Amino acid sequence: MPQMNMIEAIRDAMDVKMAEDDNVVVFGEDVGYFGGVFRCTHGLQEKYGANRVFDSPINESGIVGTAIGMAAYGLRPCVEIQFADYIYPAYDQIVSEAARMRYRSSAEFTSPLVVRTPCGGGIFGGQTHSQSPEALFTHISGVKTVIVSNPYDAKGMLISAIEDDDPVIFFEPKRLYNGPFDGHHDRPAKNWSAHPRGDVPEGHYTVPIGKADVVSEGSDVTILTYGTMVYVAETVKEETGIDAEIIDLRSLLPLDIDTIVASVKKTGRCMVLHEATLTSGFGAELAAQVQERCFYNLEVPVERVTGWDTPYPHAQEWDYFPGPARVGAALKEMMEAV
Amino acid sequence: MPQMNMIEAIRDAMDVKMAEDDNVVVFGEDVGYFGGVFRCTHGLQEKYGANRVFDSPINESGIVGTAIGMAAYGLRPCVEIQFADYIYPAYDQIVSEAARMRYRSSAEFTSPLVVRTPCGGGIFGGQTHSQSPEALFTHISGVKTVIVSNPYDAKGMLISAIEDDDPVIFFEPKRLYNGPFDGHHDRPAKNWSAHPRGDVPEGHYTVPIGKADVVSEGSDVTILTYGTMVYVAETVKEETGIDAEIIDLRSLLPLDIDTIVASVKKTGRCMVLHEATLTSGFGAELAAQVQERCFYNLEVPVERVTGWDTPYPHAQEWDYFPGPARVGAALKEMMEAV
Amino acid sequence: MADYKPLQFHVPEPTGRPGDEPDFTDVDIPSAGSAPRPDIDVDPNDIKDLARTMIRVMDKEGNAVGPWAEDIPEDVLMHGLKSMVRTRAFDERMMTLQRQGKTSFYMKCTGEEAIAIAFQQALSKGDMHFPTYRQQGILLAQDYPVVDMINQILSNAKDPLKGRQLPILYSVRDYGFFTVSGNLGTQFVQAVGWAMASAIKGDTKIAAAWIGDGSTAESDFHAALVNASVYKPPVVLNVVNNQWAISSFQGIAGGNSATFAERAHGYGIPSLRVDGNDYLAVYAVSRWAIERARRGHGPTLIEWVTYRVAPHSTSDDPSKYRPKEESSAWPLGDPILRLKNHMIKHGLWSEERHAQAETEFDEEVRAATKEAESHGTMGSGASPKEMFECVFKEMPPHLREQRQKMGV
Amino acid sequence: MADYKPLQFHVPEPTGRPGDEPDFTDVDIPSAGSAPRPDIDVDPNDIKDLARTMIRVMDKEGNAVGPWAEDIPEDVLMHGLKSMVRTRAFDERMMTLQRQGKTSFYMKCTGEEAIAIAFQQALSKGDMHFPTYRQQGILLAQDYPVVDMINQILSNAKDPLKGRQLPILYSVRDYGFFTVSGNLGTQFVQAVGWAMASAIKGDTKIAAAWIGDGSTAESDFHAALVNASVYKPPVVLNVVNNQWAISSFQGIAGGNSATFAERAHGYGIPSLRVDGNDYLAVYAVSRWAIERARRGHGPTLIEWVTYRVAPHSTSDDPSKYRPKEESSAWPLGDPILRLKNHMIKHGLWSEERHAQAETEFDEEVRAATKEAESHGTMGSGASPKEMFECVFKEMPPHLREQRQKMGV
Ligand SMILES: Cc1ncc(C[n+]2csc(CCOP(=O)(O)OP(=O)(O)O)c2C)c(N)n1
Ligand SMILES: Cc1ncc(C[n+]2csc(CCOP(=O)(O)OP(=O)(O)O)c2C)c(N)n1
Ligand SMILES: [Mg+2]
Ligand SMILES: [Mg+2]
């Protein structure tokens, strides 16, 4: 099976869908001739022509707004917002339009489009190249929110997203593009070739939107996480020896609540782990649901370990990032509490 | 003491501050000559001149963007977004700019501005005149989020907001403008003259941002709520006889967690009640914090009663709205559960 | 810097406020027939003047004059006039319905009927409008069933939109009528995207975008023009300048500094400014722009100059912010009266037939209203079950759970 | 509709890609001195041509010619030239710093130095720039301490922004330098708001807004122009057209359809298109627009035509998307060389002094770099405590709790 990093896997997903379906078009800032600042669309214009893969003006609202018009026409646009930090100008078109199109027209018009966008920090990118705004979409009825953590899922879920008849916000943790980063920024970087999820089948396959992935079974505590934090959790499990069950949610909305509940009922403890700021982050929703559904099974409160409630700082990046030290300490505390 | 409805109280707050401080300016769509579609700025242009109270072009991003520039100059803009449903075009200016100005410039530049906006449903306004997007702001580090429920608080907190040196998003539940609406839409409307919080002192006073209000003491269960839902909670308490302690949060960020924790520790039960959709609503944050801080005091899980995860429908408004019937039933269930 | 005087802040004011006499001296009205008619493949730079003048065809006597005067087929004229009369009858009846408390909300297009209707008549099946809330004429000109419009307005059991959407924010795909948004301006750039799709697919369909003078200030107006400028898709960008937003006049959208048609110049998009109350001009210019688009020459922006005679909506009272008699003083007159006169003059119509048409349409709308009311008013009849449908194509588990909780 | 041909989708392409010869035949360069110089209270409609031509002062021989040629004081010229040389030295050194891994990121303004520097020299104390990331010249022209700039770039213990902000996104209030945003375009409308405030207060301060060609496509560009059009505040709206965004050329922002200067016409704002590599033209036009604003005549938009010689940033490699020799083929030349020649010709400068200045500034920057490095590099030295400060004026309880949790 071919080895791919996440960039290649994402590109391959678009390639597969573009070859299969003439209606798939790809555009965004710098995605055409150049192939994207992270190279995710590299080679696609050459292969499919500027009619289907092209640069767009630097106007995020226009990218999503034109995509909505195209989707209403019958195309399946897969657009890129260069950094998730720049998705806010498009927020109105996503929230008031793409998300509401099916409802307000009673399905006469729909918005089958994908907004791909790199998220998360760890690249010394400061407050405008590091954000994780997923919770701002999970609150919006009518969009699906996905965040992938490895090449295999990235390709399979992007294909699912392009095939989905509703709008999907597709987050790509940029710190994972080249390897499964575990938060130990001072150690040598790993790459995907050494990771089983770097084996990516050729051609068409899907990973469904709405199913979580139990990446590591365990009995002591459930860690609900996604994106970059999956590898932080795995590392902490290894380093602390705490037998954590690690769930990579992958799809935040729809949420695979059954998998979550089954795990927490088994372990009796639950940590929620994400990079976004704490207050009103997606971890709040997870904690709220877990305490509601597993109340009588919980030994200790659901614990949230997240980025702090500050803008993403530049120099203090590793103080902000919920890395192995913080996660490990919190996990130990949870295990020690009655 | 003068009797005021919420519109008058809000207007009076601006009037008081404009008289006191030349740097306070007021603008937004239709707020100048006409005085606002809800009349909140009625008479202010006549009194203070078009230099300080004026109409703006229909561009919400421009309203907030120019306000940010003015605030950087030294003014204190208090702007209106005509409906909270139309705040999304301004989202980038609020999130990436107003909220981050102090941080990114290390306090060289700040954004002391207020964005007033009517929120909530119950006026048969459909999906674009009914939304409650408060949770989209509580997730943003650097803005304060306030939502008022009565004339007294409205005036006192708006004065606080205008005096605050950081940006404040100030939500005004439009269904409360004229009276304390309790969700019984089929009964005659009440107005503020019969309500103690309709007594509004003249001149300057403040209600601090960051303090909750225990509007009704009780020992059975704590209801955390805000805006229109405060009156639904009061009515349900009366109708069910359940001795609920009702807390009007007023300020969502900063949050008065001490008052919340003290109450839940006393009652052992907690309901969170808001009109916004459930998933990733502010209720999630409340539930997450309460279960974390009051875990060993809770008899039953924290229960969220909210609008459904759909766009705000037009005809089905009262099915969407978490009215007395739904709240009452949920409350009874909570009391009956072990 | 001592010699610099204090700067002054400039806030534009309309020429009149309540209590004042209406004053339209600022509105330059060139004589009918004076504007040239360029070829459809004209270089935008060569027709910049057409953005500052006003293309008019009908003269005071009701004659069609000048290069934009076309030989419009009689049935087109007839259908145009009737659709305008019908639209006005519809608006009046719906206003009454709202006053009776049978619907929450309504918006009339009185005085602006010619624009949507004549434009629609120039369009072809398969094309798509991206309308605002004031283009009901598009549906009425296509004889879309009036009763279905009223069902939507009443949010009743037969509402095609199942009670989910605010009155008048219709969606009628088969009639080329894109779902109207409550959020201003968003549709403008979507129309450009739709037209881009038509070009990408190598089809021949065109999009018609609609926006009001006040809403041109919205940022998506720019997003639309930038994309139209870059990709040159087949779209007609219609700006309906009816002089007012809600209480703010067109000067608050920048209309005192340049015409709305001129906005297009910075994007290399040709633009035309047209007497929107002149049915003959609207029809001719619409055909020109549509043909231009369909022949691959790209986008055109058209400013339709008109006047919002009615209140902004049933929630509005214009006597609070503009001179009482302003609408009757509007110098471009009433589009219905003007076309009627033209047709009478040319032996195609008569006062009697006009009166008869008015009665007929009034009765048609009355009957349709009655039928619609039998399915419920003000949201009655709409099912709570429908609230949970159409959020997504397939209902995800959390919505199914919520629907269960609600017991529907 | 059978006779309509399939529509075609149009995606603009630059005149050359890697492997091609550079081709600037599309760039019309009028001769120096040919553009007229209007009065500052001119009606915007009367100078529309100035948005399509290019105002140029320096001819090929280095003479200042035409109506825009001013008698610029010698010390201004001298300071202008030195600041440009200094800026280039600074950029070079910082680039090295980044290559050495001492900072994460840098952006040069090579080839564009004249614009920020001459504009700044025309401005007064108390005015405010709303810059982008490519106007470091504004600070260097004011002799803001170079070591403080480097401290910011290194995010070290002496970083005035305490490590919170990305390198080069300076904030220097006392030097009229508004905090640079990482989000494109947002500052443009903020500048308009700042200028509105100056007018509201009856002050005489003006704002200078800055934006790149690519970023004019952002919606806040429109928000800025609409507000400038309506309220006519004292603001100069600078568009730096350096031909490229990142990998996309100015045609993807609409630049093939009209000039960026022409964008202003739709808003009734006067605009001028200027050879941005001609220091003398930049200084003269800046003074004109600033004076116009300060005398209460309102906003001006200026398109500065230049070329981004450097990569977009240290993360970029232009050889991937444009002809290799494009920057040396750029027909407007190098602003430093051109001013140098002019000054040598006029006996104000010499090759020797130039070489000496280059060495001097290189040494100055080297020394400053050394000093800055002693306070830490790549974020070292910044305190985690600072992470929690300045989110709000007063730290709210939840942040205090979080800081405690972190143990700082
Ligand atoms: C984003 C947004 N902002 C504000 C509003 C409120 N609003 C509805 S209509 C209107 C005025 C629009 O005026 P114009 O574009 O001239 O259209 P007209 O009503 O005259 O046809 C306003 C401000 C809205 N619906 N959406
Ligand atoms: C809102 C937003 N979208 C995208 C980006 C990414 N980005 C940074 S610079 C840039 C190109 C800007 O080009 P231009 O405006 O021409 O300025 P130049 O770099 O040429 O000076 C892009 C796309 C951003 N910073 N902000
Ligand atoms: Mg209007
Ligand atoms: Mg550029």
Chain-centre distance for alpha carbon D261: 16
> Is there an atom of ligand 2 within 6 Å of D233 CB?
no
Chain B residues whose beta carbon lies within 8 Å of the beta carbon of residue C214 = 57-58
% of residues, chain A, pLDDT over 90: 99
| Nearest alpha carbon to residue A63 among D217, B110, B85 | D217
d(CA D218, CA C220): 10
Unique residue bearing structure tokens 């020109």: C288
Query: In the prediction, which pLDDT does D239 show?
Result: 98
Task: Say how many CA atoms lie within 13 Å of C182 toward its Cβ.
Answer: 30
Query: In the prediction, which pLDDT does A32 show?
Result: 98
* Pocket residue to mutate for ligand 2, from A82, A88, A93, A131, most atoms within 8 A of Cβ: A82
Burial category of C313 from C-beta neighbours within 10 Å (exposed 0-12, middle 13-18, buried 19 and up): middle
> Is there an atom of ligand 1 within 6 Å of C330 CB?
no
D366, A277 Cβ separation under 8 angstroms: no
B40, D165 Cβ separation under 8 angstroms: no
D141, D113 Cβ separation under 8 angstroms: no
- Tell me whether strands A303-307 and A270-277 are parallel, antiparallel or unpaired: parallel
Burial category of C303 from C-beta neighbours within 10 Å (exposed 0-12, middle 13-18, buried 19 and up): buried
Minimum-distance CB partner of B314 among C9, C166, C388: C166
Chains that contact B by 3+ CB pairs under 8 Å?
A, C, D
d(CA B29, CA B39): 12
D377, B236 Cβ separation under 8 angstroms: no
Residue length, chain D? 408
For residue B254, whether the previous peptide bond is cis, meaning omega lies within 30 degrees of 0, is yes
| CA distance to partner chain B, nearest, from residue D348 (Å) | 40
Chains that contact C by 3+ CB pairs under 8 Å?
A, B, D
Side chain identity, residue B320: Y
Reduce the DSSP state of residue C212 to 3 states and report it. Answer: strand
**Residue C184 alpha carbon to ligand 1 centre in Å:** 6
The torsion of the CA quartet D245, D249, D253, D254, rounded to 10 degrees, works out to 160
Per the DSSP assignment, residues forming a β-bridge with D302 are D238, D272
Query: In the prediction, which pLDDT does D156 show?
Result: 96
Tell me whether residues A288 and B284 touch, CB distance under 8 A: yes
D195, D234 Cβ separation under 8 angstroms: yes
Show Cβ contacts of residue B166 under 8 Å, excluding neighbours closer than 6 positions. Answer: B102, B110, B111, B112, B142, B143, B144, D392, D393
pLDDT in tens, C116-173: 999 999 999 999 999 999 999 999 999 999 999 999 999 999 999 999 999 999 999 9
Residue contacts between A and C (CB atoms, under 8 Å): 140
| Nearest alpha carbon to residue C287 among C48, C124, C66 | C124
DSSP A194: G
Tell me whether residues B126 and C13 touch, CB distance under 8 A: no
Per the DSSP assignment, residues forming a β-bridge with B199 are B3
d(CA B324, CA B22): 45
Minimum-distance CB partner of B308 among C162, C383, C402: C402
Q: Which of D172, D390, D399, D405 to mutate to test the interface with B (most CBs of B within 10 A)?
A: D390
Chain D residues whose beta carbon lies within 8 Å of the beta carbon of residue A89 = 183, 218-220
C-alpha radius of gyration, chain C, whole number: 22
d(CA C25, CA C22): 9
d(CA A308, CA D403): 9
Reduce the DSSP state of residue C253 to 3 states and report it. Answer: helix
d(CA D307, CA D115): 11
Chain-centre distance for alpha carbon B127: 18
Query: In the prediction, which pLDDT does B200 show?
Result: 98
DSSP D151: H
d(CA B210, CA D141): 45
Unique residue bearing structure tokens 């099976």: A1
D194, D184 Cβ separation under 8 angstroms: no
**Residue C326 alpha carbon to ligand 3 centre in Å:** 15
Averaged confidence pLDDT in chain D? 97
d(CA A144, CA A164): 10
**Residue D246 alpha carbon to ligand 4 centre in Å:** 7
Per the DSSP assignment, residues forming a β-bridge with B247 are B214, B224
| CA distance to partner chain D, nearest, from residue A332 (Å) | 15
| Nearest alpha carbon to residue D318 among D22, D12, D10, D11 | D22
Query: Averaged over D209-214, what is the pLDDT?
Result: 98
Q: What residue ranges in A187-278 does DSSP mark as E strands?
A: 213-216, 221-225, 244-248, 251-253, 270-277
The answer on pLDDT for D2 being more than 80 is no
d(CA D254, CA D215): 11
Regions of chain C short of the pLDDT cut 50: none
Q: Does A211 touch chain C (CB under 8 A)?
A: no
**Residue D133 alpha carbon to ligand 2 centre in Å:** 9
Structure tokens at D233: 């505040």
D126, C4 Cβ separation under 8 angstroms: no
Query: In the prediction, which pLDDT does A1 show?
Result: 82
B278, B308 Cβ separation under 8 angstroms: yes
pLDDT tens digits, chain B, 338 residues: what are they? Answer: 899 999 999 999 999 999 999 999 999 999 999 999 999 999 999 999 999 999 999 999 999 999 999 999 999 999 999 999 999 999 999 999 999 999 999 999 999 999 999 999 999 999 999 999 999 999 999 999 999 999 999 999 999 999 999 999 999 999 999 999 999 999 999 999 999 999 999 999 999 999 999 999 999 999 999 999 999 999 999 999 999 999 999 999 999 999 999 999 999 999 999 999 999 999 999 999 999 999 999 999 999 999 999 999 999 999 999 999 999 999 999 999 86
Query: In the prediction, which pLDDT does B265 show?
Result: 98
Query: In the prediction, which pLDDT does D381 show?
Result: 87
| Nearest alpha carbon to residue C164 among C397, C379, C405, C400 | C379
Structure tokens at A27: 């555009």
pLDDT in tens, D9-41: 999 999 999 999 999 999 999 999 999 999 999
Phi and psi at residue B207, to the nearest 5°: -115, 125
Show Cβ contacts of residue D163 under 8 Å, excluding neighbours closer than 6 positions. Answer: A313, A314, A315, A316, D155, D156, D379, D381, D382, D383, D386
C-alpha dist (Å) from residue D275 to B143, B208, D114, D291: 42, 55, 10, 20
pLDDT in tens, D326-364: 999 999 999 999 999 999 999 999 999 999 999 999 999
Chain-centre distance for alpha carbon C34: 25
A110, A166 Cβ separation under 8 angstroms: yes
Phi and psi at residue D244, to the nearest 5°: -135, 145
Phi and psi at residue B326, to the nearest 5°: -65, -40
pLDDT in tens, A66-107: 999 999 999 999 999 999 999 999 999 999 999 999 999 999
d(CA D199, CA A169): 43
Q: What residue ranges in chain B does DSSP mark as E strands?
A: 24-28, 53-55, 76-80, 114-119, 144-147, 168-173, 213-216, 221-225, 244-248, 251-253, 270-277, 303-307
**Residue C223 alpha carbon to ligand 4 centre in Å:** 18
Phi and psi at residue C237, to the nearest 5°: -100, 105
d(CA C251, CA C258): 9
Nearest-atom index, ligand 2, CA of A29: 23
Reduce the DSSP state of residue A122 to 3 states and report it. Answer: coil
Residues C355, C98, B324: CA angle, nearest 5 degrees: 165
Minimum-distance CB partner of B106 among D182, D200, D390: D390
Query: In the prediction, which pLDDT does D403 show?
Result: 97
Side chain identity, residue D14: P
The torsion of the CA quartet C122, C128, C133, C138, rounded to 10 degrees, works out to 30
- Tell me whether strands A114-119 and A53-55 are parallel, antiparallel or unpaired: unpaired
- Tell me whether strands A213-216 and A244-248 are parallel, antiparallel or unpaired: antiparallel
Minimum-distance CB partner of D398 among A124, A309, A311: A309
Query: In the prediction, which pLDDT does C2 show?
Result: 62
% of residues, chain D, pLDDT over 90: 98
Among residues A129, A139, A185, A195, the one annotated as catalytic is A129
The answer on pLDDT for D1 being more than 70 is no
d(CA D252, CA A31): 12
Chain B residues whose beta carbon lies within 8 Å of the beta carbon of residue C380 = 315
